[in-house]
Amino acid sequence: MLSHPDSHQQAPQSAPLSTNKFYANFFLGSQGQSVWTHPYSLTWSKGTQTAKSWGMAVSHIDADQRVLGPRNDGVPGSPAQYYINPIAIQSIIISAVELGNSTMLTTDSLQAFSANANLLPQAGSSSKITFPLVQGMGLVTGIYTKLQPVIQSSVIFRSVSVGARSSTGIFKYQITLEDNKSWLLYATPRNGQDPQLSLVSNTELRGVPSWSGFIQIAKNPAGSSGEYTYDNAAGVYPSAMDLTASTSSQTGTYEFRWRKTGLTGANGPKLLMFALPHHVESFAGPTPFATTPLHMQTTTKGMATAVVADFWTLVEGNLPVDMGFAPWNGSLPQGSRSTKRLSPTAIDIIHTVAASEIKQDMGSQTDLDSMYFSGKALSKFAALVYAVHDLCDKPDLGEALFDVPLPPTSMPLNARNMIPNSNVVPRPPTLSRYLTGFY
């Protein structure tokens, strides 16, 4: 079993931990960096900013909050060279009276598309708030176990209104912050108990002690129509997602099916999930009819569309099923797009370059401390051998690469480190600040 250089007391599980996952900031480093589920981001507050909260801060960035870099006049239209999305805006914080400087953030159920984050008042506590993290989730859910709910904001509350209780027992609150952004809060008790959230300051709503149930937060940029959409989706939340796929000739069909939790009876609400533009373009079957007029900006993925459905069906056509290692031209007819037949001029150019590059020291380039960069080098040399052997029909030139002597203590091609995963750095060197999109 690989011994990871980072200790993961906050992510206890026997299965291997995947690298570069969207939720990794909640078990790496200080655990203070954000997790992006798109369109929302979540950050452990850790006693910072105006609210001094130890809960989970929820943020959403609109396009007009971006900061544009200088214009690039060397490109037509003079676009900005870069843009920056602001971070650490604690719009709504899901917390509890019991959370303080002894609070622990742990994670569990780490899967490909989901994970749970837990805030405990202290190590070993049976009381906690669990946050199911699923990419694209339409509402941020905090599941309370015997805690006194506190909802906070470092942006500051301008107004809080109590909405009508639903027929399914959901308590509703309408929130406006000092940045003029509107949010909705839905509280679904485990035993029917009213959370009785009341404003105790301009940064804090406080509920009743020892409350159990779940609180859901959503930003509403669409007025009454957006509120109607959220009202009809509150009370359920995704806990995980299963992906299935199949192909037929040049057509691929795949499905996202979420595991729904909460008020999941026969007449219960369907899930509200946000789809990115490339999802919407591929929707098929009943899924296009489940889209809504509710849209939310994402930081890097374009405008997300709210979809009310427990599963999505997507279809991709014209798949490049004839693509291999050889040069491929997608504009040609199917069956003739991949070819090993190169022009004599191209072969001469490749042969000239390869004759020089084949002299490189493959042993030293692939016998590194890092499996990641050793693998990059191996991939380069494999492509070089393929080019001269298969495309240029120069097998002797390709075989010459394997005549390079390796150090006497070295198994071929760094195998002594790669096979047992014993490289000094068996992973990419930086993980904690990676931003990943979804699906």
| Parallel, antiparallel or unpaired: strands 41-44 and 114-120 | unpaired
Tell me what the mean pLDDT of segment 328-342 comes to: 86
User: What is the rounded average pLDDT of the residues 117-126?
Assistant: 97
**Cβ-Cβ contacts under 8 Å for 264 (sequence gap 6 or more):** 236
Global pTM?
0.85
Going 16 to 18 to 23 to 28, the CA torsion angle's sign is positive
Q: What is the pLDDT of residue 5?
A: 52
Task: Identify the weakest region by mean pLDDT among 222-226, 240-244, 284-288, 399-403.
Answer: 399-403
Q: In which residue are the tokens 């709910």 written?
A: 149
Place of tokens 């199917």: 334
Amino acid 434: pLDDT:
33
pLDDT of 122 over the 80 cut: yes
pLDDT of residue 195: 97
Query: Which of 206-215, 228-237, 347-356, 394-403 has the weakest average pLDDT?
Result: 394-403
